[in-house]
Structure 1
Amino acid sequence: MKSKKRPGISGILLIVLILVGMIVWGIFTGLDRRELSETLDKTTLVAKNKLQDYDNYTANDRVKSLVRLLDKTKELGTNLSKINKYGQQDLDEYITEQRLSGAFVSDKNLNVVLQGQQNLDSENLWNEIIGKGYVKEVLEHPEATYTERITVNREEYDLAVVPRQDAEGLVIAYAEKNSNTLGDMTLESVFSDFLVNMHGVIMVCLDDTVVSTNQETLLGKTMQEMRKYYNSRPEGNESGIIRIKPDHKIWYGHKDKMKEYAIYIFFPASQIFMARTVVCGLYTAVAILVYLLFLLIKSNLEKVTLKQSQKRMRIINALGTAYASIVLFDLEKDKVEMIKTSGDTSMPSGDQILSKKIQQNHINEMLTSEYREGFLEFIDMDTVAQRLKGQQSLTYTSQMEKGTWLLSVIVPQRFDSDGNIRAVLLANRDITKEKEKELEQERELRNALAAAEHANKAKTNFLNSISHDIRTPMNAVIGFTALATTHIDNKDLVMEYLKKISISSRHLLSLINDVLDMSRIESGNVKLEEVKVHLPDVFHDLRVIIQGSIAAKQQELYIDTQNVVHEDVVIDKLRLNQVLLNIVGNAVKFTSVGGMINIRVSENPCSKEGYASYSFSVKDNGIGMSEEFQEHIFDAFAREQTVTKSGIQGTGLGMAISKNIVNMMGGTITVNSEVGKGSEFIVSIECKITGETVKYKSVPELQGARALVVDDDANTCMSVCKMLRDIEMLADWTTSGKEAVLRAKEACEIKKEFKAYIIDWQMPDMNGIETVRRIRKVIGNDTPIIILTAYDWADIAEEAKEAGVTAFVSKPLFMSELRAALTQQAVGTEKDAAVEKKHYNHAGKRVLLVEDNELNREIAAAIMEEAGLIVDSVEDGIDAVERMGSAEESRYDAILMDIQMPKMDGYMATREIRTLDNNKKANIPIIAMTANAFEEDKKKALEAGMNAHIAKPISIDAIMEVLDQIFDRRK
C-alpha cells in the first residue's frame, strides 16, 4: 500500500498563511461588529435627544403663540365695548394691524353678527368651532376664556375664544400657522444636516411616513414605498442588529421607537467592515509577498546548486530578464541565432536578418519614418566591429509605428586571440514607460521655463506699470511745486497747490510701501508679532479710517457681527489691519458713488482647543471681476485691464500682500465676484483666545425686561436679540421704523412696555431719529433709547438728543459694548462721547537732530522750529556722541536720531550715549527718525535703547504726539 505524500515546506507555509488570515478575518469581524453596535446605540441616543428637543421647542412655540393670540382677542373684546358702533371696517383694520387671519363676533345664540377674514374658508372654520363644547362653556361663564390649536382641511390654526364685554356673545379670533409662523425649527430640518458616521442613513417616521431624514430623496416616502429596503427578510439577527440586502447591497442597522416616532438607522456593510477589509487586504498582500519571497529564495538556492553554464549563456540569461528579444550574430561565420524572440520587437527569422532588403522591409513596417535610416545603420553588421572599438556597447532609441519606444543594444560577445570582435548580441527592450517619463520631465522643464518667462514678463509689466504710477504723482509734485513758486504771492492758490502736492506725496508713499512690503514678504523677512487684541477696537478703528472715503463717495456702509463670543484674541493686529484695509479699501475704490459696502465678522465653531475661528467678510456691489482675473487676483503685480483703463490707481500688490499675510496666519482668503455685480472677499482665520470664555451677567435693573431692536437688516436684528437674550432680557425686533412705533404703542396699551430700545440710524422707510421722536411721544422720556450706527454721529448728536436719544453705540456691535451701554443707561450714569487729546506745549525745548542727509536735516529742522522747538543738528552718530559728551547736563531735552548713517548708525550711537557717565545725559529720550518703518524696525530700535520710533516722511503731529508720550511719562 502506497503512503500519502506529505506536503512540502512551501505547502505548509501556504496552509499557515491561510489559517492566520482566517483568524485575522474573524478578529476584525468581531471588532467591527462591536463598533457597529456602539455606533447604533450612540446614534439612536443622539436622534432621540434631537427629537425630544424638537418636541420641547414646538410645545414652547405653541404656548407662546396661543398666549399672544388670547391677549389680542381680549383686546378686541375690549375695543367692542369702548368704541361706539364698532363696524366691519374697524374689525378689518384690527385684523390687519394685529396680523390675524380672521375673527368672529357672535350673539348669545351663536349667530355671527360681525366677521372678518383674510383668504380663508371661514364657513368651514366656523362650523368646526361652533360644534366644540368649550364654546358653550365660555358663553355660560363670562369670566372664562379658551385657546387651542386646531386642524381644518389640513391647515393648522391657533384659536382664542373670549366673552364679549359689550353684550352677551363671544369674540373668536384665529391665526393660520404655516412654515413662517412655526419658528425656525421644523421636523424636516431636525435631521436634514445630521452627519451620520460611515455614510449611514437615518429616517424618522410618523404614521408610516418619513418626516425627517438626512437623505433628502427619502423625505415624504411611505413605509410601503420603502418596504423593499427596510422590510426585507433579515438574513441574520444578533443583539437586535438586522442585516438587509436591498439592490444586492448589504446594510446593517436596527429600528427603535420614541413616543409616536419610529427611528430607522442603517449603515452600508462596506463602511462597517472597512477596518476588516483594509487589514485583511494588507495581510493578503503581505502573505503573497512572503510566499513569493519564499519561492524566490527557494528557486535561487536551487539555481546555486546547478552547474554554471558557459559565459555566453550567463550573459544571455542576464539580458533575457530585461530584454524582449535577443539575437546572436556570428560575424566570422555570417550566422544568426535567435536566443529570445517577442512578437512586438522580433527581427526577421534566421539568416534572413542579414539580408539588407529584408532588413529594410522589416524596419519600414515596424518603425516610424524618422528612425528608419538610423536603425538600419545601427544594425549594419559590416561596420559593427569597427564602431565597437573602444566601446563597451552601442545603443539606439527608436519609436515604433504603434507609438511604443524601443531601446536596442549591441554588445561584444566573443573575441579572437588578437582581440578582434567575432560575435555580438543585439537585444531589444520596450522602454515606453521610461521614455514617457523622460518626455514628461522635458515638458515640466519647458513649463517651468515658460513660468519663469511669464514671471519675468509680469515683473517687466509691473515695472512699466509702476513706472507710470510713480511718475504720475511725481509729475504732480514737480508741477505743482513749480506752479506754487510761480504764484508765491497768491496765498490761496499756493495752499491749493500744497494740498495737491500732499495728496500726491501720500499716494507715492503708499506705492513705495506696497513694493517694499511685497519684497520683504517674498524674501521671508516678515515675522508676525502676536499680541492680545480686542476685536471691537480693530473694527471701530477700521470704521473710523474708512469713514471719510465712504462719505466722500456717498456709499452705504453696513457693518455687523454674528455670534462673536470671544472678543479678545492673540494675533498680529498690525497685519490684520493691513489685510482688512487692503480689502475694504479696494471695495470702496471699485464701488461707484452711492454703492454699498457690507462688512461682517462672524465667529464659527473651532475644533482646536483654546482657539476660535473667525470669518471676516467684505462685500460690495461695485464693478466686480471677470472669472479669468479671479484666478490671478492674488498674484503679485496683477491688475485687470478694465481697472487700468478706468484710471484707478494701484500697484496690483495689495491682494498679493494680503494673501501672503493670511497664509502666514494659517488662514484662507477667497473671493466671489461677477462683472457688474460686485465682489465678496472672505478671510477665515483661527485665533488663539485669551483666558476663559467670558460669561456676561445680566444687568440687574433690566433682568427679564423687554427690549425692542429696530434695524432694516434682519441679520443685525437677530444678532443683537441673541446678545440681549444672553444677558436675560426679552428681545423682540422689527425691520421697520413705522412698525416699531406701532409696537411701542401696543406695548403701552397692554401694560408690557419695552424697557430699552436699540434703533438703527439709517433706515429706508423712516430714519432712526424720526423713529425715536415718534416713539418718545408714545412712551415718554424715562425709557433709554440707544442709536446704533456705522457712521459718525457727531453731526446729528444735537438733533438726536432733542428727539430723545439717550446714547449712541457704534457698529459693529459686540456683547461687551452692548452690555456696557445698557448698564450705563440703567444706572443713570453718563459718559463723555469723546475725550480730547491733550498736547503739552513744548515750545522752548531744545532737541538734537542727528541726520546725515542735508535736505532731510533742513526739512526736519524747519518743521520742528515752526512748532517752537529749538533745534541743534549734527551729521553723524559719532558727532552725536561727541556732542552729548561735551554738552551741559540740561542742554538737550531729547534727541531725534536717524538710523542709517555712514560712520556710525543710530543704533550704535544710542548704545554709546546710554553708557555716558552723566546719568541724566545717559537717560535722555532718544527717538528713532528713519525710513525703516516696519514693525521689526520699531522693535529693533527699542532693543537698542531708544524710547520711540517715527517713520519718515515725518510730520509735526507725529513728533508732537511722541513728545507728549515721552514727557508725560517723565513728569
Structure 2
Amino acid sequence: MKLQWKMLRRGQNSEIEGIIKFMKEQCIRYDNILTNSKVRIRTDLIEKTTELKRCMQKEDMDEEQFQEYLEEQRLTGILLVDKDLEIIQNICTEKIPTSLWKNAFRNQNLQNVFSYKNRVLTDQIVTDEEETYYYAAMSDGDADKIVVCYENASKKAEQEDEVSIETILTGYKVERNGIVALTDGETVISSNDETMQGKKISDCPRIMMFNSAWIPESLVCVEENGNIYYGRHTNCGQYYIYVFFPKNEVFAERGMVMTYAVCLYLAFWFILLEIRRRGEKRRRDDLEYQHNIINAISKIYMTNYVVDLKKNKFEIIRAPEIVSKVAKNFKTASEIVDAVTEYFVGKDYQEGMREVTELSTISDRLRGKEALNYTFKDRGGTWFMLNVLPKRILPNGEIESVIFTAQDEP
C-alpha cells in the first residue's frame, strides 16, 4: 500500500507539472502578443499625430475640422498646447483632468519637442479610475504649439486582441475536479473556477495556505473547511500559477489491490495524456494563429530585435541584411548595440542614441514606463523612430529582456 501511495503522489505531481508547463506556455505567448500589440498601437498613434501636423501646416483648421479628424482616425482626443504647456484647445470624447496632463508634460519635459521639429514623444497616462491612455506629442512645425493625440488603450485592446489573459482559462477542463488559478500576486486574474475569478488573493484562503506551505517542486497538502487539497504553485514572470485537486479525487483508488491499481492507473494516465494532448493542440493552434498575426505586424518595422539583459545576448527578429552582417562580427549584446550606433546612426545623434540604448541602466530607466523612444537620422539623412519596450518583467519589477524596434519616419 505504501508503494501505491507513493505512485499515486508521483503520478499526481507529474500531471500537475504538465498543467503548469502548459500554463507557462500560455503566459509567455500572451506576453509576446501584448508586447507587439503595444508597439503597434504606439506606432499607429505616432502616424496619426504626424498626419494631423501635416494637415495643420496646409491650412488653419477650425474646431469642426479637428472633430472630423478625431472621428475619422478613431482618436479619443486631440490637444493643442502652447510653449508654457498650457492647453489651448481640447477636442475629445473622453476628457482627462488638466492636472494629469500637466504632470505628464512636466515629467516628459515636453518642451524639448520644440528643439527638434520631427521629434515625437510617446507615453501613457493612468487616471484615478485606472483607465490607461497612450499619447503622442510633437511640434506643429512653427515651433509655437505642440500637437497631442491620445487614445484609450483599454478600449483599443478590446477592439484588436482576440486573446485575453482574463479568459485564458475560461472553459479549461481538468480531470477529477482539478482547479487551476492564475494570479498577478494580488488578484486572481484567470481561473477555471468562476467563484475565484477576479477575487483578491487575501479573499482566497486556499491560495493563502498554499503560499504558506510552499515547498519547491513538491506536492503540498492544505486543509480548508474540513476539505483536504493536494497541489502546487509556481511563478512565470509576473504571473503565479496554482494547480490543486481534492484529496478524494487524488487518492480514489488507494484501497484497491496494488496490481490492479497500477494497471488501471497506467491506462487512465495514458487516456488523460491523450485527452490533454488534443486539448493542448487545439489551444496551441489558436495561439499560433495569433502568433502569425504578430509576425505579420512586426514586418512594418525595418529593424526589430530582442536583447536579454541578464545574459547579454542579442537576437535579431527582423533587420536589413547589412545590420545582420555587422552583428555577426560581435558576441555580446552591448557590443552589437554600440556597433549598430557607430555604423548606422548619424554622428550628431550617436551620443543621444548611446544614452537611450545603454544596457547597464536601461532596466532602471524603463521601470514603471511603457517605453523609451528616440528620434534620429541615419548616416544617409533619413529620420527614424526608435522604441525600446520591456519584454520580460520579473516579479520584483526588474526587467529581464527588452525589445528594440526602429521604423523610418513618414
Give the shorter-chain TM-score range.
0.5 to 0.7
Change (3 A) 1:66 1:236: closer
Q: Name the structure 2 match of 1:148.
A: 123
Q: Name the structure 1 match of 2:114.
A: 139
Equivalent position amino acid for 1:62 in 2: K
Q: Name the structure 2 match of 1:69.
A: 45
Q: Name the structure 1 match of 2:86.
A: 111
Equivalent position amino acid for 1:209 in 2: T
Change (3 A) 1:69 1:88: same
Change (3 A) 1:128 1:178: same
Deviation at 1:282, TM superposition (A): 8.0
Identity over aligned pairs, percent: 22
Q: Name the structure 1 match of 2:218.
A: 240
- Cα distance in structure 1, aligned partners of 2:211 and 2:172: 28
- Cα distance in structure 2, aligned partners of 1:120 and 1:175: 11
**Does structure 2 conserve the Cα–Cα contact (< 8 Å) formed by 1:80 and 1:166?**
no
Change (3 A) 1:36 1:134: farther
- Cα distance in structure 1, aligned partners of 2:94 and 2:73: 16
Q: Name the structure 1 match of 2:172.
A: 194
Q: 2:56 aligns with which of 66, 69, 80?
A: 80
Deviation at 1:251, TM superposition (A): 0.7
Deviation at 1:122, TM superposition (A): 4.5
Partner SS state of residue 181, structure 1: helix
Equivalent position amino acid for 2:224 in 1: P
Matched, 1:206 2:181: no
Matched, 1:30 2:3: no
Q: Name the structure 2 match of 1:163.
A: 139
Partner SS state of residue 167, structure 2: helix
Change (3 A) 1:277 1:239: farther
Q: Name the structure 2 match of 1:271.
A: 249
**Does structure 2 conserve the Cα–Cα contact (< 8 Å) formed by 1:66 and 1:147?**
yes
Partner SS state of residue 125, structure 2: strand
Q: Name the structure 1 match of 2:315.
A: none
- Cα distance in structure 2, aligned partners of 1:43 and 1:233: 18
**Aligned ranges 1:16-415 → 2 under 5 Å:** 25-83=1-59, 85-153=60-128, 154-179=130-155, 180-181=158-159, 183-227=161-205, 230-231=208-209, 240-279=218-257
**Aligned ranges 1:699-778 → 2 under 5 Å:** none
Change (3 A) 1:71 1:234: closer
- Cα distance in structure 2, aligned partners of 1:157 and 1:235: 40
- Cα distance in structure 1, aligned partners of 2:124 and 2:185: 20
Deviation at 1:98, TM superposition (A): 0.5
1:785-813 CA-partner distances (Å, limit 9, x unpaired): xxxxxxxxxxxxxxxxxxxxxxxxxxxxx
- Cα distance in structure 2, aligned partners of 1:130 and 1:71: 20
1:684-714 CA-partner distances (Å, limit 9, x unpaired): xxxxxxxxxxxxxxxxxxxxxxxxxxxxxxx
Change (3 A) 1:32 1:131: same
Structure of larger gyration radius: 1
CA-atom RMSD in angstroms: 3.4
- Cα distance in structure 2, aligned partners of 1:243 and 1:169: 64
Partner SS state of residue 224, structure 1: helix
Change (3 A) 1:117 1:275: same
1:582-636 CA-partner distances (Å, limit 9, x unpaired): xxxxxxxxxxxxxxxxxxxxxxxx96xxxxx9xxxxxxxxxxxxxxxxxxxxxxx
1:803-844 CA-partner distances (Å, limit 9, x unpaired): xxxxxxxxxxxxxxxxxxxxxxxxxxxxxxxxxxxxxxxxxx
Deviation at 1:236, TM superposition (A): 10
- Cα distance in structure 2, aligned partners of 1:105 and 1:65: 21
**Does structure 1 conserve the Cα–Cα contact (< 8 Å) formed by 2:123 and 2:135?**
yes
Deviation at 1:237, TM superposition (A): 6.5
TM-score by length of 1: 0.26
Deviation at 1:252, TM superposition (A): 0.7
**Looking at both structures, which has the greater relative contact order when contacts are Cα pairs under 8 Å and sequence separation is at least 6?**
2
**Does structure 2 conserve the Cα–Cα contact (< 8 Å) formed by 1:138 and 1:162?**
yes
- Cα distance in structure 1, aligned partners of 2:196 and 2:184: 14
Deviation at 1:280, TM superposition (A): 6.8
**Aligned ranges 1:663-678 → 2 under 5 Å:** none
Partner SS state of residue 57, structure 1: helix
- Cα distance in structure 2, aligned partners of 1:207 and 1:150: 23
- Cα distance in structure 2, aligned partners of 1:64 and 1:238: 39
Change (3 A) 1:99 1:277: farther
Partner SS state of residue 189, structure 2: strand
TM-score by length of 2: 0.59
Deviation at 1:193, TM superposition (A): 2.7
Q: Which runs of 5+ in 1 are unaligned?
A: 1-24, 284-605, 608-612, 614-721, 731-971
Equivalent position amino acid for 1:173 in 2: C
Deviation at 1:185, TM superposition (A): 1.6
Deviation at 1:182, TM superposition (A): 5.3
Deviation at 1:120, TM superposition (A): 2.1
Deviation at 1:144, TM superposition (A): 1.3
**Does structure 1 conserve the Cα–Cα contact (< 8 Å) formed by 2:117 and 2:143?**
no
**Aligned ranges 1:498-509 → 2 under 5 Å:** none
Change (3 A) 1:63 1:237: closer
- Cα distance in structure 2, aligned partners of 1:69 and 1:60: 14
